[in-house]
Amino acid sequence: MYETVDKYSKLRTAFLVVHPNCQAKLIGCTGKATDVHHKVGRGENHLKISTWLAVCRTCHIWITENSKEAIELGFSKTRIN
């Protein structure tokens, strides 16, 4: 388990270096990416960076609290097939 946490931490840090700006840019956005949003959840795709979105805390909160709208805007993907 600690191996996975360590790997995620390293990938997350590198991802935010490459993507320093918030990719959502919603109302109230701070502009600086501080979080990684997992567009398809944290399950089997947890370490798959192609499913990540660099976001500021404000946008991340909005995305998680407004899942239907986030899906419509392309910030999240439905987990129901």
Residue 80 lies in a domain: no
Output the pTM of the full model.
0.88
Q: What is the domain range of residue 10? A: 2-72
**pLDDT of 80:** 57
Taking Cα atoms as reference points, which of 33, 5, 14, 50 lies closest to residue 63? 33
Domain count, the chain: 1
Residue 11 lies in a domain: yes
pLDDT along the chain (81 residues), means of 10: 81 97 98 97 89 98 96 87 51
Residue 14 lies in a domain: yes
Distance from chain centroid for Cα 45: 12
Query: Do 29 and 22 contact (CB within 8 A), yes or no?
Result: yes
